[in-house]
Amino acid sequence: MIQLASNDLDKDVQQELDNLQFKVDNELTFAKKVEKAQSLWNSKGGVKGKQAFEKITTRLYGLCVSEGICNYCEQSEANDVEHIYPKSFFPDKAFQWENYLLACKQCNSGYKLDKCHVLDADNELIVVNRGTEPLSKIGAFINPRTENPNEFMILNLMTFKFDTIPGLSKRDINKVKSTLEILELNKRDPLLVTRKSAARYYYEMLERLVRILEVLTIEELQNLLTPCDDRFDLTQPLESIKDEIKISYKKSIGNHQHPSVWYSIKMIESKVNTKWKKLFDKIPEALTW
Ligand SMILES: [Zn+2]
């Protein structure tokens, strides 16, 4: 998981969200608030609300950590507006902009559903049962809209599982534990396999780019380009073409699935692995991609 860029809503859209949240907060009991949040979520409170949510979805699409990819598993198409803190347990966050992200159907409806863990005063995890009010308001889940998941966990490129960052507080350790458990991010075999494929993709891209940047003739360059590369105007000066190719490769890396893999490569592999180190020595700016 990667932190999503921050982004404010247009005033009219934010106002619409505030109106909907006000109606939920106005209910007197927890059960009524949940019921109200659900019915307003279904109807969006009418035409204006529906229009606001079209804009919200578009805005969330632009915030995805990779082009249109689920912000949880980083693998599948993101098509659901997901409540990070479920509205059935946190109706006070049902229409809160920072409580939304786009997730795939499997993460949203298959794994996360409305599972909820909270932290008590001693930072112990408490599982909240469906239909009951959480005893604590502190959700045990990393919100990648407002928190940086990389400060909590990092992908291990030997196991392709997330490890907890050493030295965290009990509270943060339990947040990591709960997030990984709810989403099953370390248990889903297809994710472990595709993270490995992503690592290979990133290596091959960077390795080819290094070779491209070292060519001395257009002919050498043509030999290195793949049929999947963008079409470049090969009548331009060689250095200009190389610059264009570099931009194109940077974009491809930035749009690829599993940005957490790329993050670990930059943070760890670039320092400890000779093969990666060699590539980054040739293109140090890639450390900021
Ligand atoms: Zn997903």
- Percentage above 90 pLDDT, the chain: 89
Whole-number Å distance, alpha carbon 258 to ligand 1 midpoint, is: 11
pLDDT band at 114 (very low <50, low <70, confident <90, very high): confident
Whole-number Å distance, alpha carbon 41 to ligand 1 midpoint, is: 21
Model pLDDT for residues 26-69, shown as the tens digit of each residue? 999 999 999 999 999 999 989 999 999 999 999 999 999 999 99
Whole-number Å distance, alpha carbon 103 to ligand 1 midpoint, is: 5
pLDDT of residue 153: 98
Provide DSSP, 72-137.
TTSSSB--EEEESS-TTT-GGGTT-GGGEEEE-HIIIIIIITT--EEE-TT--EEEPPTTS--S-S
Q: Which residue has the tokens 């400890």?
A: 272
Strands 117-119 and 125-127: antiparallel
Whole-number Å distance, alpha carbon 156 to ligand 1 midpoint, is: 19
Whole-number Å distance, alpha carbon 236 to ligand 1 midpoint, is: 42
Across 1-5, 108-112, 271-275, the highest mean pLDDT is recorded for 271-275
**Structure pTM?**
0.92
Whole-number Å distance, alpha carbon 109 to ligand 1 midpoint, is: 10
What mean pLDDT comes out for the span 170-197? 97
Whole-number Å distance, alpha carbon 211 to ligand 1 midpoint, is: 34
Whole-number Å distance, alpha carbon 264 to ligand 1 midpoint, is: 19
Model pLDDT for residues 228-273, shown as the tens digit of each residue? 888 888 899 999 999 999 999 999 999 999 999 999 999 999 999 9
Model pLDDT for residues 199-215, shown as the tens digit of each residue? 999 999 999 999 999 99
Model pLDDT for residues 10-24, shown as the tens digit of each residue? 999 999 999 999 999
